[in-house]
Structure 1
Amino acid sequence: MDIQSNNGSSVVIYAYNPSGPAGWMFLVLFALATITHLVLIFPYRAAFFLPFVLGGIMETFGYYGRVWSSHDPESFGAYVLYYLLVVPAPVLLSATIYMALSRIIRTLDAEEKAWIRPGWSTAIFVVNDIVCFAVQLGGLGMQATTSAAVQGTGKKVVLAGLVFQLLVFALFITAVARFHVRNTKDPSAVTKRVPGLPWTKHMWAIYVLSVCIVVRNIVRIAEYAQGAHGTIVQTEALLYVFDAALMFIVMAVYAVVHPGMLLRSVKKAKRADPLDVDGIPMGGGMA
């Protein structure tokens, strides 16, 4: 489908008629996942999951734009709503994953095992995420026009933001792996003291989420690099498989393996047995 630009040239929106059922399915799935995470904030006292919830809201309304496009494929407003919300939404999901790792490390009293100190890692990764979000949002804003030239520049800006986000995530995965290895070889006092503490399960959850986000970003980078006539842009199923489905998996995994479960387990153990292996209060180093 296409619309007319300001100079009379044709600007392609979709190379197909967007699927209404697929749009509705992911709208409902993201809405349910978002509500679930909003509710879980309270029992787990996980206020740091608010960006995750906001990312879910963006995904939900983004797929409303997709549903709108299925009814009106030539609507430029529906196209803008979808891309303006869905493309940068994973940045907010990533920010929550960064903060979750820092809280897990602190809860385990394992700061010395971290490659980057939790306080610094949160600042570094979240600030970089904000930069990624701003760049992508700015580029998407430039695409909210019927000028093909401005859209082209906006796509390059979004591409740069996606590449930068991918590099930041590669650094984060390295930090996760190094902490995982160090705390496995030489467990922290809390890790030793609490029998059967499932902290490794939460590490593997982060790996799964990371793979989902990295694959999604690679496909989005390929989409913008290929341009309007690329295979990804012209194949709707690829966007649902390598974006919508992967981001829903991210939200679903963290609903089942929520970091708040681990944090709450350690807190309960510390209240029940306040002395660590050296006879020092386990909670002594906790904020």
Structure 2
Amino acid sequence: MNVSTSTLSLTVADVDASREFLTTHLGYQVAMAADGFASLTREDAAVDIVLLSRGTEVLPPEQRDQQAAGLILALTVTDLAAEEARLRAAGAPITMPLREEPWGERLFQLTDPNGVVVQLVEWVTPGTSSHTPDTPDTDDTDDTDDTRTEQEEAPTVHVISPSDEAVTVSPNATMTGLAAPSRGSAELSTWTVEMAAGATGPEHTISREQVWTVTAGSLEVTCAGRTEKVAAGQTVVLPPDLVRQVHAPEAAEAHVAMRADAHATVPGTEGTRTLPWAE
């Protein structure tokens, strides 16, 4: 078998949204497009992508209502850190910040409006630095430029203030985003939650551990069938991937922290959901 090209076909709810995401942030170009269909390509070795709208009659009946879920489109690139900086500056939805695995894989992830996860990857030799070593200094080498570069790349402190743009209002609660990858953090997301008396959130799971500290009122937190009442000043740790539900017997406020790459699922529904206030 000789493979001349590779194409990934994705069934999504909104073809235009995914097309815009891929062309704006990842350099894809539209080869063909029609109502409910788009064929995208790049000039390099990246896989071609076909976007099909859910319900299209082009697909067999048993596939028409499926959608891309649990799939990662991985693209190996060079100068991964520069790509991450470019995408962050462009406001791209980075849902897993840049990290390096012990086996030598450096990666970060974006999630498009239809929930398609795109992972950019760069490989390095395990146990070595992820950048190319500098040429050894000689006695007459001026170190000024190297020192300046090291200073420019040093971690910086971010002070984050609540803003109206970071507020999400649902029927059950109001979430105000604080730290998040889109607002300067690299690994953690934090936010505040306000719930009116009698409000109850939906049953759901989160893929990462969450830590809730109640700052006013009290909450009743049901997790894996067990209900705990958490009063102001107390903290509850919610394990990942367990069904939980939060109820406010009285008006309550809480501060929440978790890893920034988490996603949510709702029992009885397909796919995963991002938390907009934590992205």
Alignment TM class, shorter chain as reference: under 0.3
**Of Structure 1 and Structure 2, which has the larger fraction of its residues in helix?**
1
TM-score by length of 2: 0.24
TM-score by length of 1: 0.23
